A and B are shown apart, each in its own frame.
Chain A
Amino acid sequence: MDPILILQAVVSGVLASGLYALVSVGLALAIGVIGIVNFAHGEFFMIGAFLTYQLFVSFGVDPVLSLLFVAPALFLLGAVLYRTTIQYVLEAPELNQMLLTFGIGIVLQNLALLIWGGDPVSISGIAYRSVGFRIGGISVGLVSLVSFAISIVLVGSLYLALSRSRTGRAMRAVAQNRIGASLVGLEVNRVYLVAFALSALLAGIGGVMIAVIQSPTPTIGLAFTLKAFSIVVLAGLGNIRGILAASLVVALAESLVATLVPNGGTLSNAVFFAIIFLALVWRSRRTA
């Protein structure tokens, strides 16, 4: 086992964990504040990626710039979805919420498939895409590094905003006690709207980054939804620091398997889901 290889895998894993954390934190916001199990969360991520791609291909917009467009676009999408559908199932049984968001996810995913087809798309021809550093024997891509940095900054900012800002405090109040919060005058529905739109925005930003790092297909939405859920579940609800840790664990596992196990690339997905499955089962046994 080449130690350089392992170290490379670790570094790649750490860098990838930022993105996972970003997407998961958005989902945690939706589940924690609103109480909605959003099965379509990963689709916001996917839409962010494909908007970036399309902007690049049609108008030559650099992905970095498209952040300025994608972020508000996804915020708007989240808000619209909330107003038109989500807010009506908040009081409904969990089954209904799951199914509603599942349906929304199916619609979004297949719309994307219809528009862009099932093949991977890639943004090629951007100079900084191939820029990297070499430290020791380890290579680190500039894009990966920057994505990681942006993700951490965003997650950190969210954490701070939730604890310090007025809206953040409102969200936490609403998360803990909806009735009490509304009695005190907080407009609960508005808080929910912002939280949901924000979760979409965060996922969308992640999407911008994945468009540059990899070659996404419209089906990555579902995969990321599952991954985000798993991380949130692993971390425990309301635990942002836990999400960072869980993202790290999962990303490292994937990276190590992909690098060290022969044929690991195809297996890494299965490994991920196996970890989730085992983690869920193990957890359920513990709380007896």
Chain B
Amino acid sequence: MSPNVRNRLRDLIPVLLFAVALWFLPDLLRSWSGRASVSYLSLVTNGLGLAVLALSWDILARTGQLSLAHAAFYGAGAYVTAILARLEVGPLWLGIPAAGAFAVLLALGLGVVTLRLKGIYFAIATLAFTEVLRSAVRQLPTSFAGGSAGMNVAPLFRPAFDPETMERWEIAFLRNEGYFLLYAGLLLLTIGLSLWTRRSRLRPAFTAVRTNEEVAGVMGVHPARMKLLAFALSSLSVGMLGAIHAHRVGSVIPEGAFAVSTTVFALVTPIFGGLYTTLGPILGAGVLAGIEETLKRNLADGYLIGYGLVLVLSILFMPRGIVGMVRGIARRRRAARAGVTSEGGEA
């Protein structure tokens, strides 16, 4: 079996297992916890959403573009589907791919304009972009986009209530299940994108651009194309996530759709889990979503402090994230067992 095929299988099998697990999870939860499964399902869904945010931010970070505009695409996606729903242009679900497409266009625009910006300048430009976008949306005519008060968004799932076969809470469950499956689908798509950038020739290209754009160029890599591609892949998922979330929550409002906290979650999670990997953001999302519930319950309004602390402690003690730390330990064990250092003679 050639190494390429082996790699593909090594990726595909866990993903398939994951997909199967996700498929059966709602029913399992329902039989285990009955009524409580409604909120559990919602929790898991949040975790899935966080994973999408994290994975998509990570893809962009691979080209060295540390974007603080994630919330911009999220919000844009939310508003696209909200506006399309209000205009009744077509079936409700159409808003989701439309949101993705619009987010990609927006990202390409931003990407082109910021091509020459690096580091902190890029970050600030993207943050400024988000602020301007939020203000702009707020100024849109109220009949069109709801102004600063926002507007309602029609839900995607309206399960019918049949008093003979269902209990009341099962309607909520069915609704949650619908969104859960959508989130799961989006997550699988994003995982696919993330793996693609890791297994294909995009990996050396992205890493080269991230390390040193000039050297990458001399190696024949087209830096602008790579950066824009990363932007597009990244924003596709976030845009759709924003759209699905808008339907799930039932409304969009400028402060919420473009909230800085979205960006914060998007970047803290992969750093905590391990940047430039696929497992890292997912792992980070799982852990943080779990912690978040605890934090929210105990700290209420201040739970973001927890996030801040996680970020600070991660940078100080775990700069390579969970995955990086585990790999580092494994590497050191291997070296110790081999008994020799990697100091080879002249090649």
From B79-87, B111-119, B168-176, B191-199, give the one contacting chain A: B111-119
From B7-15, B99-107, B303-311, give the one contacting chain A: B303-311
A94 to chain B, nearest CB (A): 5
Among A102, A266, A276, which residue has its beta carbon within 8 angstroms of that of B125?
A276
Q: Is B302 in the interface zone, CB < 8 Å from A?
A: yes
A249 to chain B, nearest CB (A): 16
Taken together as a complex, chains A and B put the C-alpha atoms of A114 and B139 apart, in Å, by: 30
Cβ-closest chain A residue relative to B319? A96
B65 to chain A, nearest CB (A): 11
Q: Is B66 in the interface zone, CB < 8 Å from A?
A: yes
Q: State whether A285 touches B116 (Cβ < 8 A).
A: yes
Q: Is B123 in the interface zone, CB < 8 Å from A?
A: yes
Q: By CB atoms of chain A within 10 A, which of B260, B264, B271, B319 has the most?
A: B319
Q: Is B149 in the interface zone, CB < 8 Å from A?
A: no
User: Provided the pairs A105-B308, A107-B305 are in contact, do residues A274 and B121 lie with their beta carbons within 8 angstroms?
Assistant: no
Could you mark each residue 299-321 of chain B with 1 if its beta carbon is under 8 Å from any beta carbon of chain A, else 0? Answer: 10110110111111001100100
B138 to chain A, nearest CB (A): 7
Q: By CB atoms of chain A within 10 A, which of B121, B136, B139, B309 has the most?
A: B121
From B45-53, B126-134, B158-166, B234-242, give the one contacting chain A: B126-134
Q: Is B92 in the interface zone, CB < 8 Å from A?
A: no
User: Provided the pairs A98-B120, A277-B128, A281-B117 are in contact, do residues A114 and B302 lie with their beta carbons within 8 angstroms?
Assistant: yes
Q: State whether A230 touches B305 (Cβ < 8 A).
A: no
Cβ-closest chain B residue relative to A277? B128
Chain A residues near B226 (CB, 8 Å)? Answer: none
Q: Is B39 in the interface zone, CB < 8 Å from A?
A: no
Q: Is A194 in the interface zone, CB < 8 Å from B?
A: no
B313 to chain A, nearest CB (A): 8
Q: State whether B127 touches A284 (Cβ < 8 A).
A: no
Q: Is A65 in the interface zone, CB < 8 Å from B?
A: no
Taken together as a complex, chains A and B put the C-alpha atoms of A233 and B127 apart, in Å, by: 14
Q: Is A143 in the interface zone, CB < 8 Å from B?
A: no
Q: State whether A230 touches B119 (Cβ < 8 A).
A: no
A283 to chain B, nearest CB (A): 8
User: Provided the pairs A98-B123, A277-B125 are in contact, do residues A270 and B66 lie with their beta carbons within 8 angstroms?
Assistant: no
Could you mark each residue 83-108 of chain A with 1 if its beta carbon is under 8 Å from any beta carbon of chain B, else 0? Answer: 00100110010111011101111111
Q: State whether A273 touches B316 (Cβ < 8 A).
A: no
Q: Is B294 in the interface zone, CB < 8 Å from A?
A: no
Q: State whether A110 touches B116 (Cβ < 8 A).
A: no
Q: By CB atoms of chain B within 10 A, which of A92, A94, A95 has the most?
A: A95
Among A95, A111, A263, which residue has its beta carbon within 8 angstroms of that of B305?
A111
Q: Is B124 in the interface zone, CB < 8 Å from A?
A: yes
Taken together as a complex, chains A and B put the C-alpha atoms of A111 and B299 apart, in Å, by: 11
Q: State whether A106 touches B132 (Cβ < 8 A).
A: no
Chain B interface category by residue count: 35 or more
Q: State whether A270 touches B309 (Cβ < 8 A).
A: no
Q: State whether A284 touches B308 (Cβ < 8 A).
A: no
User: Provided the pairs A92-B319, A229-B120 are in contact, do residues A267 and B311 lie with their beta carbons within 8 angstroms?
Assistant: no
Chain B residues near A281 (CB, 8 Å)? Answer: 113-114, 117, 125
Q: State whether B301 touches A233 (Cβ < 8 A).
A: no
Q: Is A280 in the interface zone, CB < 8 Å from B?
A: yes
Chain A residues near B316 (CB, 8 Å)? Answer: 85, 88-89, 100
Cβ-closest chain B residue relative to A103? B311
User: Provided the pairs A222-B260, A226-B128, A233-B124 are in contact, do residues A99 and B315 lie with their beta carbons within 8 angstroms?
Assistant: yes
Taken together as a complex, chains A and B put the C-alpha atoms of A281 and B309 apart, in Å, by: 33
User: Provided the pairs A37-B120, A94-B119 are in contact, do residues A107 and B131 lie with their beta carbons within 8 angstroms?
Assistant: no
Chain B residues near A276 (CB, 8 Å)? Answer: 124-125, 128
Beyond contacts A99-B311, A106-B311, A273-B129: 18 other A-B pairs, Cβ-Cβ < 8 A, are A85-B316, A92-B319, A94-B119, A98-B119, A99-B315, A103-B310, A106-B308, A107-B312, A110-B301, A110-B308, A226-B127, A229-B120, A230-B128, A233-B124, A266-B135, A266-B139, A276-B124, A287-B116
A-B contact pairs, 19 of them (CB 8 A): A89-B316, A103-B268, A103-B312, A106-B264, A108-B308, A111-B305, A114-B301, A233-B121, A267-B139, A270-B134, A270-B136, A273-B135, A274-B128, A274-B132, A277-B128, A281-B114, A284-B117, A287-B116, A288-B116
Q: Which 10 A-B pairs have the closest CB atoms?
A: A103-B311, A106-B308, A270-B135, A107-B308, A284-B116, A114-B302, A103-B312, A273-B128, A273-B131, A277-B128
Q: Contact residues of A with B, CB < 8 Å?
A: 37, 85, 88-89, 92, 94-96, 98-100, 102-111, 113-114, 222, 226, 229-230, 233, 263, 266-267, 269-270, 273-274, 276-277, 280-281, 284-285, 287-288
Q: Contact residues of B with A, CB < 8 Å?
A: 66, 113-117, 119-121, 123-125, 127-129, 131-132, 134-136, 138-139, 260, 264, 267-268, 271, 299, 301-302, 304-305, 307-312, 315-316, 319
